Structure 1
Amino acid sequence: MGTPVVDTPGKKKISGTAKGYLILFGLVVLSWLIFKILTPSNFGSPANMLSYFQASLIATVGAVGFYFVMVMGMFDFSIGANIMLSAIVGCVFASRFGMGYAGLIIGSIVTGSIVGLLNGVFYVKLHIPSMIVTTGLALIYESIANYIAGGVEQTLPSNLRAFGQMPGNIILAVLACVVAYIFLNYTKIGTYTYAIGSNEFVAKNMGINVDKYKVLAFILSGAFLGVMAVLTISYGSSMVAVTGMASMSRNFVPTMGCFFGLAFKKYGMPLQAIVIGEFVINIIFFGFIAMGAPTAIQDVITGLALLIIITVTTKVTKGEIVK
């Protein structure tokens, strides 16, 4: 819920949602301006910004799904393994089995949902932290992906890459975000998700089947990660199965987008914050690439910048209780 507008004599306060948008767009402008000053010749043109935004849409789709899990206070270390496995299965159905776009979309989303279901069921049945459960399961998903791929890089045929460029990528990403918004704001799942996230004990006393909705949150997250897998393999054209938790490198960008969503939940705009937040992350990322900075330096400075952003945007007011 956004902060209501309060009228005071001689002074008008903007609503919480408007304040949230101002902060987010301020971050976009600030991050663009810094790198535009540092490297004016090869960064930040309108064409560049459109390219950055398209790249950000990939992680945005996964982040809006993962938000259902994170807002309940749970975590998922199998995001990267899910994306990898879903993309490989979708590619196999699309090309090897000749099912085209139907195989790519259905194969990826169904696989992502099954992975989410397994994560949720194991989590509620084993009664151990979600981080531990999903870390162990990630190793299994990586092995399955490697077995299906046969140790060979899976390449999506060039005639099946419409979701890797405009307008296909934007259409699919917008549809995913709209579905997430509807689930979060107009369904029982969304209502109970927030109730459990706010206070699980109270939610149980209200008669909410907490375990059921935690499993549903993981399934929803998995389905959106399946859509992210479609965008990922369409954009990059191929997917390599990795093992030994190497897939975890794919966890961080969607997770960072979720932090924006959690930070701006108090303004009543978590999903909008994820979309713009992922854009900010990509501006910073491509800014360092334009500067020619080493990858290690990029990761350090990007991490520090995001810590500062999240710290500022989640500043706790006096007397507020943080869960």
Structure 2
Amino acid sequence: MEKNSGIYIAGHKGMVGSAIVRKLQQEGFSNLILRSSRELDLTDQKQVINFFEEKKPEYVFLAAATVGGIQANNTYRAQFLYENLMIQNNVIHQSYVNGVKKLMFLASSCIYPKMAPQPIKESYLLEGPFEPTNEPYAIAKIAGVKMCENYNRQYGCNFISVMPTNLYGPNDNYDLETSHVLPALLRKFHEAKIKGLEYVEVWGTGIPRREFLHVDDLAEACFHLMETYHGNVSVNVGTGQDITIKELVEIIKKIVNYEGEIIWNSDKPDGTPRKLLDVTLIHSLGWKYKIPLEKGIKDFYKNKFQD
């Protein structure tokens, strides 16, 4: 990518898209093409066609998606499937039609099989059943990965995809019905502290293990891969380290300085037992994460709730 290349970041107001914008600006890229969902509805084929014909972006980061945690994935099943398929179909196809030089599609590690061997290699995709609460979202994201792969094969495109692990950081979603586990826990513990509550209820047993990556580290990885990687393998992006949800809760409790009790509601779903990515490939491509989890959460909490 040249410093003056026209680069379209789809979903630039979200957590991932905004981190990619920050990274590109830090690197001196100035011709960034940005549209909010109000300005451009990516589920509307005609709007997307007109946008690509008018702006002719040279590079595309496809970070726009309808996302959420366990509850949202399980509640808005049809919506997550439809909207993500439409966004991907429109943006990927118009990138091909309009001669985009390179596209990056942001998938998700939650599309791997529920009981995949650990750590999860890129080759494990489609080798087992999904986590049931997550199936519609997973199917949509797999379709996006396969679109990139097969547009490369049939049309000679240069479309790549990445599989980020669980993310956290600036511009995350804190809605308790639709957010992921880490920001939801931060909000719960912060509000419990402010209100002087005697306990915090946490879903599940605390036994499942999760890997967490700061979104600024993901943006670094995306930039690195966009500059250097060409291939049909969807690249895992993570830390290669995981912790139990119980350990995460204890870290958050300490950072927030909450002194009450923790009650585990084991009637609520745990989700996938473990989800640790094998990051051998991306390490071989010259990238490793930099931000330790506890430091990242401390900074995240300070910037969101204490400034």
The interval holding the TM-score normalised by the smaller chain is: under 0.3
> Looking at CA atoms only, which structure, 1 or 2, has the larger radius of gyration?
1
Greater per-residue helix proportion:
1
The structure whose RCO (Cα within 8 Å, separation 6+) is larger is 1
* TM-score, length-scaled by structure 1: 0.26
